[in-house]
Chains A and B, each alone.
Chain A
Amino acid sequence: MSEPVLPPIGMLAELTHRCPLQCPYCSNPLELLKANRELDTQTWLDLFSQAADLGVLQVHLSGGEPTLRRDLEQLIAGLSARGVYTNLITAGINIAEGRVEAFADAGLDHLQLSFQGARPATTDRIGNHRGSHEKKLETARRARAAGLPLTINAPIHRHNIEEVPEFIDLALSLDAERLEIANVQYAGWALANRNWLMPERAAVERQAEIVAAAQERLAGVINIDFVPPDYFAIYPKPCMGGWARDAFMVTPDGTVLPCHAAQSIPSLRFERFGPRSLAEIWTDSPAFNAFRGTEWMQEPCRSCERREIDWGGCRCQAMAIAGDAAATDPVCIKSPIHARMAMLIDETRRTDANTAADDAFIYRRIGVVTEPA
């Protein structure tokens, strides 16, 4: 590496893989870890302390469902004591009375609450959990009552893309500061369910217009962040802001990864916190250095004027679709196999997916699925 390694700004901590929901696009890996593999309280606190020393300013506490960790208040307090900005990413189901207030008292800065649908029936069906919508509404109300700033997160796919206007109304009615309209990224579970999740092209275009109009109309009222579906795009996203550039994530057992899906790249070996310090892993780990900066790039990335805008796009998508983690993300129009994206979209038309039968989904669960071909 010729360029200096900059300190990380953000960290996503997957405290557990346990979750009451079974969303078919879950960003956890297909092989979920059981509770007995999770780091204990003190190890997380040590890890957070090292993260703060390293320059991490924001920690996103996620899962699975992070509130299933009984020590969550303690973990928030530990981060807060170090001045780290804490964001709790929760499904908002079955949170015991008084706990949302306890998170706020521990110093939580912000709460992000997912809604699988804007309509109760959609939320309950996608997460495969009856009554979940009502529970989420209650969590949102408790968060506001506890004075917590609120983001509503809406993961978008074929079965709820028509609900985008209703998601906007929902976020407004819950007095959220922020709404994320985030189209599902096809890695892990979402890749296994791609044929059942891929939206129609016309719906994608309509969605983009609706969101752009709402962003303008609601400036100063609510922030709407939009993550478009990249199969329909001509340039890739700068995934994670660039591989190992300013953020990383940690799995429930302390494995440190550059991104959610990094373990889908078979040539890389990832290290665990404990045997090695966070600083050693961030700076020296061969997996972190594999795609850092621009020197690893092949053509057309290598000489592209956008190479420091999108950093070659997503390595895991290159792996999944091009079969080479060092290839240009096929989302990019300059990729020699860019046409494959349109073919993959068309392929979803040929499946029986339009009938949208519930049992067509492979719901997220421990031990139900093997890697898709």
Chain B
Amino acid sequence: MMALRERAIVSLQSVPSLPKHVRIQYDPVRQAFAVLSPEKVFWPNEISLDILRRCDGRSTVGHIIADLAADYDAEQEAVAADVIAFLQEWSDKLLVKL
């Protein structure tokens, strides 16, 4: 029997984390944060980085949204849509674990 992973769908109760093959690292040469993964290096913008840093394996998506809305002084609803879309995209690429 094959124990297949299934595609994870983001919900407010999801607790995202970075999988073992992904890490965020400050690059002193380019003075920017890089996301390192097999074969690919990403250069996230400030907002993406703020989301990824909160994927600590403890905070729920609901909590992350509330936290970001407070930090950015923005409407929770607008933040929620962006955060959920971002996390779904990154989860579909196996760059974030839900």
Contact = CB atoms under 8 A, between A and B. Distances in A.
Interface in B1-50: 2-8, 19-21, 23, 25, 27, 29-30, 34, 36, 38-39, 41
A177 B19 CA distance: 10
12 contacts: A7-B29, A55-B29, A57-B34, A58-B36, A83-B25, A85-B36, A109-B23, A110-B21, A178-B38, A219-B92, A221-B4, A221-B6
A19 interface: no
Nearest to B25: A83
B36 A57 contact: yes
B39 A172 contact: no
User: How many residues of A sit at the interface, in one of the four size bands?
Assistant: 20 to 34
A336 B71 CA distance: 57
A7 B4 contact: no
A220 B7 contact: yes
Nearest to B93: A223
B66 interface: no
Contact of A54 (B5, B29, B91): B29
B41 A9 contact: yes
A57 B27 contact: yes
Ranked nearest first, the 8 interchain pairs of A and B with the lowest CB-CB distance are: A220-B7, A149-B21, A55-B29, A85-B36, A220-B92, A219-B92, A110-B38, A221-B5
Contacts of A110: 21, 38
Contact of B8 (A112, A173, A220): A220
Given A173-B2, A221-B5, 20 more contacts: A9-B41, A57-B34, A57-B36, A83-B25, A85-B23, A109-B21, A112-B38, A148-B20, A149-B38, A151-B39, A177-B19, A177-B21, A177-B38, A178-B39, A220-B5, A220-B92, A220-B94, A221-B7, A222-B5, A223-B94
A219 B93 CA distance: 7
A110 to B, nearest CB: 5
Interface in A217-256: 218-223, 225
Contacts of A55: 27, 29-30
Nearest to B95: A223
B30 A149 contact: no
Interface of B: 2-8, 19-21, 23, 25, 27, 29-30, 34, 36, 38-39, 41, 91-94
Contact of A87 (B30, B39, B91): B39
A173 B3 CA distance: 7
B19 A149 contact: yes
A31 B50 CA distance: 50
Interface in A118-154: 147-149, 151
Contacts of B39: 58, 87, 151, 178, 225
Contacts of A225: 39
A175 interface: yes
A83 B36 CA distance: 11
A286 B7 CA distance: 49
Contacts of A172: 2, 4
Nearest to A169: B2
Interface string A339-361: 00000000000000000000000
B7 A219 contact: yes
A81 to B, nearest CB: 14
Contact of A151 (B2, B34, B38, B91): B38
Nearest to A223: B94
Contacts of A10: 41
A222 B30 contact: no
B14 to A, nearest CB: 13
Contact of B94 (A54, A109, A112, A222): A222
Interface in A1-29: 7, 9-10
Which of B3, B5, B8, B29 gathers most chain A CB within 10 Å? B29
Contacts of B25: 57, 83
Interface string A78-98: 000001010100000000000
Nearest to B88: A220
Contacts of A7: 29-30
A110 B38 CA distance: 7
A58 B6 contact: no
A315 B41 CA distance: 24
A6 to B, nearest CB: 9
Nearest to A246: B41
